[in-house]
Structure 1
Amino acid sequence: MSFDKISVLISKINSIPTLPTIACRVMEITADPNSSANDLMKVIIPDISLSTKLLKMANSPFFGATRGVTSLQHAITVLGFKEVRNLVISAVVFESFMKIEKNENYDIGKFWKHSFVCGLAAKIIAAELKKTSNEFFVAGLLHDIGKLVIYITLPNEFFKLVDTAKHLKLKFTAFETEKGIIGMTHDEVGMRLLKKWMFPESLLTAIGFHHRIQETDTKSLLPVVVHIADIFAHIYEMQTVVEEDDPLKTETLFPDIIKLAQLYGIEWDESDLNRLQLALAEGIEKEAVTFRLFFGN
């Protein structure tokens, strides 16, 4: 049965439309060392919606703005090629899925919120590790894109997964049931789609292995940061939900996070994790405007 589900899933992934031409051209230009800001501007400027969004991002303190940005060319200069690429493809990817119909069995709004919180957590962790690239934010933002693919291609199986997750205290372990129900995990599904969309290798690895980091090179921080950011996001969500009985003491998760981080040369203790969790909670309160930049509400 799993083999049949995998075949259906792969077939449906292959039938998902490619990214809009503008996103493909942005990836091509930003990958070409001989291209210029003018080349990038010519591709983006006909898309008024995307141009406006990039200008807003370039003027946002969240993305490192220090002064007013009034033109697209200035925005590209301020953000840099890599950041423009990351922001364009993340905006376009979510735009591709924003028309998913609401369903009483699944709150899609919670998915968008979790995606943003994970991205924000990844950005906070990256800053702690003296990594300034917003690539960590984008990797966290897109980490669960495979779930949306399952949602639109195998809805019955998706709702079985949702129902199973309801009974789990640790929601981030729900991926373990996916193999049994559909034969693949959502990170594998997401990576297949993003390969089809010709995503950069760094983002492919971060998103495709955020639940299988033991299969990656410990020299790459992106997958482990996204993995830990995902746990932080779930901890935040668990802390904001009132449980009637047997509440989870989230500090019990800290030793595993600390041990994992040490494999990557990251020396944290419980006080560090508490500080990062506090920074995440404060960041979520402050970044409502940034959330609306991506999701429009």
Structure 2
Amino acid sequence: MTNPLSLNEVVRQTNEVVTLPGVFVRINRMVDDPGCPMQAIGEVIAQDPGLTVRLLRMANSVYYGLSHEIDTVSRAVTVIGTRRVRDLILATSVVQAFEGIPEELGSLEAFWRHSIHCGLLARHLASRVRLREPDSLFVAGLLHDIGRLVMFSRYPDYARRALEHTHRQNGATPFYLGERREFGFDHAELGGALAEHWQLPLLLVECIAHHHQPRHAQHYPQQAAIVHLANGLSTPSEEERRPEAEQEQRLDPAIWSLVGLSPELAEEARHEADAQLNEMYQLLRGDLDQA
């Protein structure tokens, strides 16, 4: 029996339970307004003490490696830039928004460790090919499996059957094809639809929606390919654990030319992401784990 709900209905139901905070919605609009002054964005952020603390922690982390401490929101906006600040706020907001959902088929810690590692790796890969705004690739990698989190938490029976179907095929069938069999759509399509509903930038929508098939991205195929590569090389999430050879088989064979990198450079980027994983996990989820 397949899920009777349409993709749009699942997005609507999810949005009733998981919504992005109003402060992010306001900042997202302000960043896209060329006439909006930096000072106004800083003033909105400063109204949320918890967000302010998380933003300053990240701004002063090895993620940026700045030589001088950033001690105010206004300085963070000035030094890092409005789009980067928007990306960091989105990253912390989404992790917070999904906290407390049931862990039906896996560990939230394992899910977020994989997602954060994928995001870090995507950022380093984007920097190596000199893409603008590599922080957007961090967020894309962080959110690439958000549709899977929705499926496992809200529709565990269908997700479990999709997983079982994949296991019966001994890994020959990608997990997202099992999802299509049970849901009528896969987690990438669901995540992309959620990102579009939240009015996130098109780059994020396409990277999330096409991270398994990056050549289907109409506007940002290279960025989607970077997330695809980062996902394939990243530490697998709990339900994806499989031999290393099978991990490599999940990569699109044409991915290296689409990304514009060699496997050797990608491996260097992976080591850099490994080194930053624990700190970034603590920055994004440390307070939640201790609660």
Query: TM class by shorter-chain length?
Result: 0.7 to 0.9
- The amino acid across from 2:98 in the alignment is F
Query: C-alpha separation between the residues in 2 aligned to 1:45 and 1:9?
Result: 34
- The amino acid across from 1:25 in the alignment is R
Q: 2:254 aligns with which of 248, 253, 259?
A: 259
Contact 2:62-2:276 within 8 A present in 1 as well: no
| 1:160-179 correspondence runs (5 A) | 160-165=161-166, 173-179=174-180
CA separation of 1:214/1:130 partners in 2, compared to 1, >3 Å: closer, same or farther? closer
| 1:183-202 correspondence runs (5 A) | 183-202=184-203
The more displaced of 285-294 and 85-94 is 285-294
| 1:263-278 correspondence runs (5 A) | 263=258, 266=260, 268=261, 272-278=262-268
- The amino acid across from 2:278 in the alignment is A
Query: C-alpha separation between the residues in 1 aligned to 2:245 and 2:256?
Result: 20
Contact 2:87-2:139 within 8 A present in 1 as well: yes
Matched, 1:95 2:99: no
Q: Deviations over 1:2-45 (max 9, x none)?
A: 47133653452353453221010010111110111211111111
> Which residue does the alignment assign to 1:294?
284
> Which residue does the alignment assign to 1:21?
22
> Which residue does the alignment assign to 1:34?
35
Q: Structure 1 residue 124: deviation in Å? A: 1.7
> Which residue does the alignment assign to 1:4?
4
Contact 1:122-1:137 within 8 A present in 2 as well: yes
CA separation of 1:84/1:151 partners in 2, compared to 1, >3 Å: closer, same or farther? same
CA separation of 1:2/1:210 partners in 2, compared to 1, >3 Å: closer, same or farther? same
Q: Report % sequence identity.
A: 25
- The amino acid across from 2:46 in the alignment is I
Matched, 1:156 2:157: yes
Q: Which runs of 5+ in 2 are unaligned?
A: none
Contact 1:9-1:153 within 8 A present in 2 as well: no
CA separation of 1:83/1:10 partners in 2, compared to 1, >3 Å: closer, same or farther? closer
CA separation of 1:17/1:23 partners in 2, compared to 1, >3 Å: closer, same or farther? same
TM-score by length of 2: 0.85
Q: Deviations over 1:75-127 (max 9, x none)?
A: 11111111111111121111110112334x42222111110111111012112
Q: Deviations over 1:267-294 (max 9, x none)?
A: x4xxx31442244135313441122111
TM-score by length of 1: 0.84
Contact 1:172-1:230 within 8 A present in 2 as well: no
Matched, 1:281 2:276: no
Query: C-alpha separation between the residues in 1 aligned to 2:153 and 2:237?
Result: 25
* Structure 1 stretches of at least 4 aligned residues deviating more than 6 Å after TM superposition: none
Matched, 1:147 2:148: yes
Q: Structure 1 residue 66: deviation in Å? A: 2.8
Query: C-alpha separation between the residues in 2 aligned to 1:161 and 1:250?
Result: 18
> Which residue does the alignment assign to 1:122?
122
> Which residue does the alignment assign to 1:107?
107
CA separation of 1:171/1:22 partners in 2, compared to 1, >3 Å: closer, same or farther? farther
CA separation of 1:81/1:163 partners in 2, compared to 1, >3 Å: closer, same or farther? same
> Which residue does the alignment assign to 1:58?
59
Q: Deviations over 1:170-206 (max 9, x none)?
A: 5992111111011111011112212221111111111
Query: C-alpha separation between the residues in 2 aligned to 1:29 and 1:171?
Result: 46
Q: Structure 1 residue 257: deviation in Å? A: 5.1
Query: C-alpha separation between the residues in 1 aligned to 2:122 and 2:197?
Result: 25
CA separation of 1:219/1:117 partners in 2, compared to 1, >3 Å: closer, same or farther? closer
- The amino acid across from 2:151 in the alignment is I
Please provide the CA RMSD for this pair: 2.8
Contact 2:191-2:209 within 8 A present in 1 as well: yes
- The amino acid across from 1:285 in the alignment is A
Query: C-alpha separation between the residues in 2 aligned to 1:97 and 1:128?
Result: 31
Q: Structure 1 residue 250: deviation in Å? A: 6.4
CA separation of 1:171/1:23 partners in 2, compared to 1, >3 Å: closer, same or farther? farther
